[in-house]
Amino acid sequence: MVNKLFNWRKDMKPDDIKQIVKEKYGEIAKQDKMQKPSCSCCCPDTAADVDYTIFSEDYSKLEGYNPEADLGLGCGIPTDAAKIKPGDTVIDLGSGAGNDVFVARRLVGETGRVIGIDMTQEMIEKAQENNRKLGYANVEFRFGEIENLPVEDNTADVVISNCVLNLVPSKLKAYQEIYRVLKPGGHFSISDIVLTGILPAKIQAAAEMYAGCVAGALKKEDYINCIRKAGFSNISVVKKKPMTIPDIMLSQLLSVEELKAFKASSSVILSITVYGQKPEQIGGGRCCCD
């Protein structure tokens, strides 16, 4: 178990980041479904009051929803904007216990296919057990990393993901992989966490203690630039929701003057859902947005 605040430090190697994420998600996967996890993958183990579901949406009224698969770890409902059609092949990145996979399966129907990918073995096993109970023959879960997807080129009509890419060390590589596995003309709908403005270190620490999973977030413009440089077109933010950190949490780390300055600034932590398309004519690019 990791007994420290998880920060994306400049000197932290990608493999170290991935190992911490694996350990934290492995712990969550092993907990009883009625037991609220003490925190998410990138918050301190000592923060028992962390509300890791602060960004999560209510799935309960969606067709295909399975409570056993809903761990409350998302920050949106990516299938809402995914334009999934019957017969589509859909890939869910960071599929966890299968929540978005099972919702997508209802949309693709019997003639479609949904592939969930996760780099935490415990989550894969939990999702597979959930699928065994449901008996879906056109759903599968694969062990693998988003930066090196275990999927052939031009496989998916749609790629979805829910609050996972902010945990990936190289966002550019992740979106290049999404580009690779999408069919020409395919598209993605991804919910994630981004920042606007510059988030001071003390504010970031407060956010991580309150909700976790903020340390790896990019500035919104840098995040969108990664998507654009990976080769996608028709990029749009279809939904956004700010996270408000309670004053009682901020006051533990900030002076009165610092708190006033932050509230007067434009710095915001956002949950966004982004849509983008892979052009019919294949292309790509590079950027320095890692």
Instruction: Parse the chain into domains and list their residue ranges.
Output: 14-276
Q: What is the pLDDT of residue 39?
A: 42
Q: What is the pLDDT of residue 14?
A: 59
* pLDDT, mean of residues 191-215: 72
Residue whose entry in the numeric block shows the structure tokens 């829910």 = 162
Closest listed residue to residue 178, CA positions, set 167, 169, 190, 166: 190
Helix (H/G/I), strand (E/B), else coil: 111: coil
Model confidence at 224, pLDDT cuts 50, 70, 90, reads very high
Model confidence at 286, pLDDT cuts 50, 70, 90, reads very low
Model confidence at 117, pLDDT cuts 50, 70, 90, reads very high
The separation between the first and the last C-alpha atoms of the chain, rounded to the nearest angstrom, is 27
Model confidence at 47, pLDDT cuts 50, 70, 90, reads very low
β 233-243/268-277 pair status: antiparallel
Model confidence at 210, pLDDT cuts 50, 70, 90, reads low
Strand ranges in the chain using DSSP code E only, listed in sequence order = 89-93, 113-118, 139-143, 156-162, 182-196, 233-243, 268-277
Per-residue pLDDT reduced to its tens digit, 165-196: 988 888 999 999 999 999 999 999 999 989 88
Burial of residue 288, with CB atoms counted within 10 A of its CB: 0-12 exposed, 13-18 middle, 19 or more buried: exposed
What are the backbone dihedrals phi and psi of residue 180, each rounded to the nearest 5 degrees, phi first? -65, -45
CB proximity list for 38: less than 8 A, separation 6 or greater: 45, 47, 48, 50
The identity of residue 205, as a single letter, is: A
In terms of pLDDT, which residue wins out, 170 or 112? Answer: 112
Helix 220-229 and helix 171-181: axis angle, to 10°?
A: 40
Question: Residue 140: beta bridge partners?
Answer: 115
Q: What is the pLDDT of residue 40?
A: 42
Residue 205: is its pLDDT beyond 70?
no
Closest listed residue to residue 140, CA positions, set 113, 160, 159, 115: 115
CATH of domain 14-276: 3.40.50.150
Please give the radius of gyration of the chain, using alpha carbons only, rounded to the nearest integer: 18
Q: What is the pLDDT of residue 31?
A: 64
Residue 285: is its pLDDT beyond 50?
no
Q: What is the pLDDT of residue 9?
A: 46
Task: Return d(Cα 44, Cα 218) in angstroms, integer.
Answer: 20
Residue 74: is its pLDDT beyond 60?
yes
In terms of pLDDT, which residue wins out, 123 or 18? Answer: 123
